[in-house]
């Protein structure tokens, strides 16, 4: 194509092998990440007598069902132990790299991909998980695929896709103390809605985004899916390169300099055309919490619970339904809402920076409610323990456990009890997401820590005075 190009245009053109008359393109896949749920795809390969096309470009990870406690037992039930064993056997059979339960590098796939340097700028990355968009923080074209597509990628190292529309969200201004990427993400989703970016690939840009760490950028891209986007991405820069340099699977020696030189071209041209553009003033963002059963049901902690009586009837019914499930009264302040437990973890907020932010709030304080802290990988866990962060959490009264998706999806036995209210760093607050009848409030790690030490949803900013 001629004329100024977007980052999306560049990545698409570099990977499109063939384009059909209906516009769908066959894309080459640089990295295929599989987890325990991939057993259906491997079974399809076996039924057809097929092998994995590119084992070196495929990585298996135990994460969704990974037990966070009693890990050497292999799982919380016989079914889970069987699923984990099946993944490890499939990986061995096909010569695939596997970060299994007993591997010191094991963790959540969207944490260890970047951590190991498997995630690189310019790559097309796919996984049978919607939050694959996380990897877009490195200037990658990363998206989730379904079970049938997983089998197709395993067999061919390609995937059929229709090119999404291009959307740019620019953040201008400086974030205030106690405000971070999670607040930015929940803020734009609340503003535009859960379908606000449907059919689009979002490119995040602007000085606020440039100032984010890689951990913050990953959080921002991770939550793109909750606003309906196909994926999110950020052009790579010096922050990206500094993070990746020396990672085990990143280019080494002279190959590193050549790679960085090519990665610098991965950006949108001046004057490139986007199908939609949104600009947000980051200086006006306050710590955000969700109040309902969709990520778009989010407000600053200083707000009150919405009153259906003040809304149109079409919106009022949905709000009444959400408030009934969440057990919240219209018009009451969000600040001060009691919680029953807290959770710090998930592919959204379980990296070392997230744990440090939570520990900064909790240091020297006691939690008033029980809670679980699950690092995003066993390497993050080891680093946190070297820094003494684990002691901050345990001395406060929280449980410090192993790495896995844990209480985000509740597939491994880590659950929120029916009717309990949980302050959580996760990405989804749908009905029953953390367990049948569980009530989930999404927020940043610092805000979850504040909820732990006060026993309520609360503004973290006063608790951070003199600490940051």
Q: Give the SS3 label for residue 28.
A: strand
Cβ count near 296 (within 10 Å): 20
Cβ count near 270 (within 10 Å): 6
Q: Which residue bears the tokens 């990672």?
A: 247
Cα within 13 Å of Cα(465), Cβ side: 4
Q: Which residue bears the tokens 């607050």?
A: 429
C-alpha closest to that of 206 among 174, 183, 229:
174
369's tokens: 């409610």
Q: What is the pTM of this model?
A: 0.97
- The answer to whether 115 touches 248, Cβ cutoff 8 Å, is no
Q: What residues have CB less than 8 Å from 421, skipping those under 6 apart?
A: 326, 327, 337, 338, 339, 340, 341, 439, 441
- The answer to whether 390 touches 400, Cβ cutoff 8 Å, is yes
CA distance 20 to 30: 21
Which domains can be identified in the chain, with CATH numbers? 7-162 (3.30.499.10), 165-236+268-284 (3.40.1060.10), 288-464 (3.30.499.10)
C-alpha closest to that of 118 among 101, 128, 132, 104:
132
Tens-level pLDDT at each residue, the chain (468 residues): 678 999 999 999 999 999 999 999 999 999 999 999 999 999 999 999 999 999 999 999 999 999 998 887 776 688 888 999 999 999 999 999 999 999 999 999 999 999 999 999 999 999 999 999 999 999 999 999 999 999 999 999 999 999 999 999 999 999 999 999 999 999 999 999 999 999 999 999 999 999 999 999 999 999 999 999 999 999 999 999 999 999 999 999 999 999 999 999 999 999 999 999 999 999 999 999 999 999 999 999 999 999 999 999 889 999 999 999 999 999 999 999 999 999 999 999 999 999 999 999 999 999 999 999 999 999 999 999 999 999 999 999 999 999 999 999 988 889 999 999 999 999 999 999 999 999 999 999 999 999 999 999 999 999 999 887
64's tokens: 């969704």
- Alpha helix stretches (DSSP H) within 104-251: 109-116, 147-156, 181-192, 207-210, 214-222, 238-244
């Amino acid at each position: 194509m001629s004329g100024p190009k977007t980052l999306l245009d560049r990545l698409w053109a570099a990977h499109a092998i063939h384009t059909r008359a209906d516009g769908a393109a066959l894309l080459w896949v640089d990295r295929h990440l599989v987890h325990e749920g991939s057993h259906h795809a491997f079974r399809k390969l076996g039924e057809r007598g097929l092998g994995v096309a590119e084992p070196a470009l495929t990585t298996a990870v135990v994460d969704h069902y990974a037990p966070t406690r009693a890990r050497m037992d292999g799982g919380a039930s016989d079914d889970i132990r069987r699923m984990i064993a099946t993944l490890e056997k499939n990986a061995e059979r096909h010569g695939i790299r596997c970060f299994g339960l007993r591997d010191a590098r094991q963790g959540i796939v969207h944490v260890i991909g970047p951590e190991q340097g498997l995630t690189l700028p310019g790559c097309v990355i796919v996984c049978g998980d919607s939050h694959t968009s996380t990897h877009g923080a490195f200037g990658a074209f990363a998206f989730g695929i379904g079970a049938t597509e997983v089998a197709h990628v395993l067999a061919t190292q390609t995937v059929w896709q229709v090119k999404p529309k291009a959307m740019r969200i620019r953040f201008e201004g400086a974030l205030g103390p106690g405000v971070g990427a999670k607040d930015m993400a929940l803020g734009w989703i609340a503003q535009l809605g859960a379908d606000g970016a449907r059919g689009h690939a979002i490119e995040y840009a602007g000085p606020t985004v440039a100032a984010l760490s890689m951990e913050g950028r990953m959080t921002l891209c991770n939550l793109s899916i909750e606003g309906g986007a196909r994926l999110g991405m950020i052009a790579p820069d010096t922050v990206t390169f500094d993070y990746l340099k020396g990672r085990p699977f990143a280019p080494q020696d002279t190959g590193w300099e050549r790679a960085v030189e090519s990665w610098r071209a991965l950006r949108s041209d001046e004057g490139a055309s986007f199908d939609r553009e949104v600009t947000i003033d980051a200086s006006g963002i306050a710590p955000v919490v969700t109040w309902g059963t969709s990520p778009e049901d989010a407000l600053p902690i200083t707000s009150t619970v919405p009153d259906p009586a003040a809304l149109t009837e079409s919106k009022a019914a949905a709000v009444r339904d959400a408030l009934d499930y969440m057990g919240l009264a219209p018009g009451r302040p969000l600040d001060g809402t009691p919680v029953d437990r807290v959770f710090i973890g998930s592919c959204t907020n379980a990296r070392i920076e997230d744990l440090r932010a939570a520990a900064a709030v909790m240091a020297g304080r006691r939690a008033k409610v029980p809670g679980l802290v699950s690092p995003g990988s066993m390497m993050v866990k080891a680093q946190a323990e070297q820094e003494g962060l684990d002691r901050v959490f345990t001395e406060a009264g929280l449980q410090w456990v192993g790495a896995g998706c844990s209480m985000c999806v509740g597939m491994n036995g880590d659950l929120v009890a029916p009717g309990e209210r949980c302050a959580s760093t996760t990405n989804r607050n749908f009905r029953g997401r953390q367990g049948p009848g569980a009530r989930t409030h999404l927020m940043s790690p610092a805000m979850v820590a504040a909820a732990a030490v006060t026993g309520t949803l609360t503004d973290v900013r006063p608790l951070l005075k003199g600490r940051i």
